[in-house]
Amino acid sequence: MTARAPYAGVAIAVPVTEPYVRYSIRSAHWFVASVLAKLLQQSGLEKLAIDGLCVSSFLLAPDSAVGLTQNLGMSPRWLDHVPMGGASAVVALRRAARAVQAGDADVVACIAGDTNHVDSFRATLGNFSQFARDAVYPYGAGGPNASFAFLTDYYMRTTGAQRADFGKLCVAQRDNALSNPLALFKQRLTLEQYLVARPIAVPLHLYDCVMPCAGGEGVLVMSTDRAQSLRLPYVNLLGAIERHNAYPEDPIQMRGGWAVDRDDLYAQAGLGPADMDLLELYDDYPVINAMQLEDLGFCAKGEAPQFIRKNTFTTTGTMPLNTSGGQLSVGQAGAAGGYLGLVEAVRQLTGQPLGEAVPNARHALVSGFGMINYDRGLCSGALVLSRGDA
């Protein structure tokens, strides 16, 4: 196999968020536009200076990124649409970084935005994929709650994980969220509250499930030279992986594509799990956090429960995890949920966190996981980022 070229000289800058709301009467287009406006405002760039655009959104139909160029009055020479849900940011960054390295684009705006109307989530579920429509939705119409209930039930039975283990992650993320003004959940969560919450899809209870909402996230990808000349704080991309439909023969998902590619990721970055100062893991349900801790090499397979018992996961504690609160405490704004961790990691590493700062953060790991097409999530990916002066 050809050795992979490094992502040298690529800067990720200008982390922006269109604040989340539970429901909005705006369209997904509006959220993408408002993220773009923030990117321009905070970078000082003119709109036409953005010559690359990569968009992720569930609710743009009948439009795609193509229609958005006219909608937003842009003339990019590089355009991409990444319909990969929770893996959108990782995949978008990989592609945008290569475009910038190759000179196909100078500045790429990577944006995810989605709206949430009353009842739009139900419509999304019913038509999520052909397999979901034919073989999942007619079975109780529980949506991702039911799919992750299967995974959680199996994971708990085979690893000995307890609800309190998952609860610890949820409670820690809520603690992290309390200093983030944009988090939708603003009340402290206790383990007791977590444990007695109403069941949603056994063994999942209320605080195991993300709350759908509306919002947007975005960053700019450009060369480090360009970022420096614009005096923008930035992070470097040290390594990136993506994998789709990994381990198709596994009867149930107990591992994702990270397990296939993590050695490649860390080799490319020249770092290991122990070097990570913060983790931004895709967290629509806590079981997937546990799986990623294992697959990304923080502990052995099946040992995440013990690993969870040994760490605090709070922003200023051990193994800071989902420092903005993650989707479980900030909300899941459709495809923007896939960007939440990336944007937070860039904020932390560039010294501009919205809430509490991870002390001396130099390296971050950001993961993505997306698209429960039938019985499992198909897309997985991860990025290793470092502070721009590192």
Partner 1 sequence: MTSPLARPGRKNPLMRTRLPLLPPAHRSRVALGMTAAAAEGRFELQRCAACDAVQYPPRETCHRCLSDRLHWQLVGGGGELISHTSVLHSHDPYFRERVPWRLGLVKLDCGPVLVVHLHGDVAPAPQRLRVGAWLDRAGTAVLVGLPEKDVPNMADDRQLRELTCDPKFRKVLVTDGKTAVGQALVSALAQAGADLIWVGHSEPWKHVAGLAAVANLPQVTLLPLDVTNARSVAETAAEIGAKVDILVNTAEFHRAQGIASRHGTEVARAEMDVNYFGLLRLAQEFGPAMRARAADGPTSATAWVNLLSIFALSNFPAHGTFSASKAAALSLAQCLRAEMQPAGLRVINLFPGPIDDEWNQLLPPPKIAPAAIAKAVIAALRDGVEDVYPGDVAEEWRARFRDNPKVLERELAAS
Residues that bind partner 1 (CB under 8 A): 121-122, 125-126, 130-131, 133-143, 145-146, 149-151, 153-154, 157, 198-204, 251-252, 374-375
The number of angstroms, rounded, from the C-alpha of 33 to the middle of its chain's C-alpha atoms is 20
Contact yes or no for 188/207 (Cβ under 8 A): no
Task: Supply the minimum distance, in Å, between the C-beta of residue 193 and partner 1.
Answer: 18
> Is the CB of 43 or the CB of 120 nearer to partner 1?
120
- At which residue do the structure tokens 């949430």 appear? 116
Task: Check: CB of residue 16 under 8 Å from CB of residue 29.
Answer: no
Element (H, E) at 123: helix 120-126
In three-state secondary structure terms, 241 is strand
Give min distance, CB of 244 to partner 1, in A: 14
Q: Which residues contact 269 (CB under 8 A, 6 or more apart)?
A: 238, 239, 384, 386
Going from the C-alpha of 43 to that of each of 47, 109, 229, the distances in angstroms are 10, 11, 11
Indicate the residue among 109 and 125 with the shorter CB distance to partner 1: 125
Residue closer to partner 1 by CB (options 134, 225) is 134
Closer residue to partner 1, CB minimum distance, 204 or 238: 204
Are the C-beta atoms of residues 328 and 207 closer than 8 Å to each other?
yes
What distance in Å separates the CA atoms of residue 276 and residue 290, rounded to the nearest whole number? 17
Specify the residue for token string 């998952």: 166
> Which of 82, 125 has the CB closer to partner 1?
125
The torsion angles phi and psi of 215, rounded to 5 degrees, stand at: 170, 180
How many residues can be counted in the chain?
390
- To partner 1, the closest distance from the beta carbon of 355 in angstroms equals 30
CB of 303 to partner 1, least distance (A): 20
* Residue for token pair 């287009």: 29
Residues in contact with 1: Cβ distance below 8 Å, sequence separation at least 6, in sequence order: none
Q: Which is nearer to partner 1, 37 or 146 (CB)?
A: 146
Q: Least distance from C-beta 117 to partner 1, angstroms? A: 14
Nearer to partner 1, 12 or 151 (CB): 151
